[in-house]
């Protein structure tokens, strides 16, 4: 029986979307499955998860992001658009590879939200998914069309967060 690969979305304004996806990659690696993580909007340095995942041979991480933060509604700077285009090209490449069992498109929903890639581009990208691949899309504000297409959607909802009490992001916990 051929394995069935589904499309999963981890979205919402709560913490833990990427962490859940990386946990899935960790689980898959325990069974010898190969995973590829394509990160949107993250330059690749200064994140504990990247350092940890690099130690697991079954997991490969590709990070694409420009320095600096974006604001909703602003026109994205060219370097952010170029990084997102490079991430989309890498995502197409890993989705076309039948040897990769799990593909994680980390923060792709945010890339759509901030206007770095179009929803139509993401929907077209998903056509490259191999039938047996599991595919996970993370990031806030997954669009209704992506939610409709997905087989599993989990919304992380923030109820309380230490940022509200002035606690800054902590190394090893938030990054």
Strands (E) across 47-142 are located at: 59-64, 102-106, 134-138
Report the pLDDT averaged over residues 143-151.
97
State how far the Cα of 130 lies from the Cα of 6, in Å rounded to an integer.
10
Residue 2 lies in a domain: no
Classify residue 99: in a domain, yes or no.
Answer: yes
Distance CA 32, CA 121 (A): 31
Residue 71 inside a domain? The answer is yes
Task: Find out whether 149 and 143 touch, Cβ atoms under 8 Å.
Answer: no
Report if residue 172 sits inside a domain. no
Residue (of 91, 64, 61, 93) closest to 80 by Cα position:
64
How many whole angstroms separate alpha carbon 174 and alpha carbon 108?
A: 18
Task: Report pLDDT for 2.
Answer: 56
17 confidence band (pLDDT: 50, 70, 90): very high
- pLDDT for the residue 3: 73
pLDDT reading at 172 higher than 90:
no
Is residue 1 scored above 50 in pLDDT? no
Judge whether 170 lies within some domain.
no
pLDDT digits (tens, 9 = 90+) for 39-84: 999 988 888 889 999 999 999 999 999 988 899 989 999 999 999 9
What is the pLDDT at residue 60? 97
For residue 33, is it within any domain? yes
- The total of structural domains in the chain comes to 1
CATH of the domain at 124: 3.40.50.300
pLDDT of the residue at 175? 80
In a domain, 62, yes or no: yes
According to DSSP, residue 138 is labeled E
How far the first Cα of the chain sits from its last, in Å, is: 39
Evaluate whether residue 171 is within a structural domain.
no
- Domain ranges, residue 36: 7-165
Each residue of 95-136: pLDDT tens digit? 999 999 999 999 999 999 999 999 999 999 999 999 999 999
């Amino acid at each position: 029986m051929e394995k069935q690969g589904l499309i999963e979305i981890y979205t919402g304004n709560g913490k833990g979307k990427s962490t859940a996806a990386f946990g899935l990659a960790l689980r898959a690696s325990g069974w010898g499955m190969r995973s590829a993580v394509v990160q949107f909007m993250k330059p690749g340095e200064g994140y504990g998860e990247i350092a940890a995942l690099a130690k697991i041979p079954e997991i490969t991480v590709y990070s694409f992001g420009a320095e600096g933060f974006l604001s909703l509604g602003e026109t994205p700077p060219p370097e952010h658009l170029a990084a997102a285009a490079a991430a989309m090209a890498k995502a197409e490449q890993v989705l076309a590879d039948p040897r990769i069992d799990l593909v994680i498109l980390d923060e792709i929903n945010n890339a759509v939200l901030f206007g770095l890639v179009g929803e139509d581009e993401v929907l077209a990208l998903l056509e490259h998914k191999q039938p047996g691949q599991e595919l996970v899309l993370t990031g806030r504000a997954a669009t209704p069309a992506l939610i409709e297409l997905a087989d599993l959607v989990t919304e992380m909802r923030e109820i309380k967060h230490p940022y509200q009490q002035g606690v800054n992001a902590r190394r090893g916990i938030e990054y």
